[in-house]
Amino acid sequence: MEPTAALPYLTAQTPGTGGVLRASPEDFRVDEVPAYEPTGEGEHVYARIEKRDMTTPYAVDRLARALHVDARDIGYAGLKDRHAVTTQWVSLPRVDPAAVEAPAIDGLRVLAVSRHRNKIRTGHLHGNRFTLRITGVADIALAIGNASVIATELRNKGCPNYYGAQRFGREGDNAERGFAWLRGDGPAPRQHFERKLFVSAAQSELFNRYLARRVAAGELGTYIEGELAMRFATGGAWRVEPAEAQALYDARGASAAGPMFGTRMVRASGAAQAREEAVLAEAGLTIESFAKARDLGEGTRRPVRVLLDDLAVERDGDAVRLTFTLPPGGYATALAREFMKGAETVETALE
């Protein structure tokens, strides 16, 4: 079973649309929202690319081959879904802008070319704008009605910031393999990239379990004594004052900051600490278990909800169309499952 299959829904009281996501790549569109626009001057050539049904690393490799540059010198802000149509900016060194405008690559086209002073680095984005089409619904009028109710609740309360199934590997077992290694009852991964994948999956699964308990208890936007918070506008976790915490949450200024466990993660206190330690204990782990992963297991904090002020539902023929923007690290499939009510109906993409 995928790690996401049993996660509780925030909108469980409203029936889902059913249907299928990603019957074709065009049903899942992602447009990157960059952190800045190119100025038109500088040594780095920027290209806004559109790719269809290919991973970002594959697209970068094809561009590098076509333009005779080292793929490691091409910069991009983040990975985009494979089974989708996506757009994003990439930066290229020492190339003729004219050569970038029309590379002969199936499934990839260049939409714009400019210049800027710096290479694009991971994280140089504000978020991603999604347009999803849910097809194959049994009753489109009923589906639109239910989807509209779900959208209203998500706009009002935010959406649980679950990690999607993409985070846990093709077989969905990376987290369990990570747990076994960290507990000492499984083999240590030989390769650095495997250690990174397993630790990341383990941290993400523990976060999902923690968040699932909050959602099931109706506490997505409720302050728990001793927890840390994160401001939506600026990020960064801090110890929120209990007297002001709930008002801040209700005003949509901040979110509780859930645990991405690790040896250097800032720890909660009181009731919040007890809840977090219970999630670890259930997996047979302690904070100290992550010392085995060294620098890969430092840990951090992640908001438990994301805001969806621009979430919209529309009828598109016999399909339900959803449009919304997510911050970096947000999973569109985590939102789509709230609408579809059935993780098995959410086709996931693997980078």
Encode pLDDT of 291-306 as tens digits.
Answer: 988 888 899 999 999 9
pLDDT for position 190: 85
pLDDT for position 236: 87
**Annotated catalytic residue, options 81, 250, 295, 309:** 81
Encode pLDDT of 200-259 as tens digits.
Answer: 999 999 999 999 999 999 999 999 999 999 999 888 899 999 999 999 999 999 999 999
pLDDT for position 351: 38
Lowest mean pLDDT among 10-14, 29-33, 98-102, 255-259: 98-102
Q: Is 159-306 in the same CATH topology as 36-123?
A: yes
Q: Pick the more confident residue, 45 or 104.
A: 45
In CATH, what is the architecture of 159-306? 2-Layer Sandwich (3.30)
pLDDT for position 288: 94
In CATH, what is the architecture of 20-25+127-156+308-340? 2-Layer Sandwich (3.30)
- CA neighbours closer than 13 Å in the CB half-sphere of residue 190: 0
- Smallest CA-to-CA distance from 294 within 201, 209, 192 is with 192
Annotated catalytic residue 295: no
- Averaged over 279-293, what is the pLDDT? 94
DSSP code, position 24: S
In the chain, where the domains are located: 20-25+127-156+308-340, 36-123, 159-306
pLDDT for position 1: 39
Handedness of CA 267, 268, 272, 274 (dihedral sign): positive
Mean pLDDT of the residues in the chain = 93
- Smallest CA-to-CA distance from 54 within 77, 21, 88, 20 is with 88
**Residue 5 pLDDT more than 90?**
no
Question: What span, in angstroms and rounded, lies between the C-alpha atoms of 335 and 321?
Answer: 13
- Averaged over 273-283, what is the pLDDT? 97
**Residue 345 pLDDT more than 70?**
no
Question: What span, in angstroms and rounded, lies between the C-alpha atoms of 111 and 102?
Answer: 9
Q: Pick the more confident residue, 138 or 346.
A: 138
Q: Which residues pair with 69 in a beta bridge?
A: none
Encode pLDDT of 36-79 as tens digits.
Answer: 999 999 999 999 999 999 999 999 999 999 999 999 999 999 99
State what percent of residues in the chain have pLDDT above 70. 96
pLDDT for position 172: 86
- The domain made up of 36-123 has a fold known as Pseudouridine synthase (3.30.2350)
pLDDT for position 3: 55
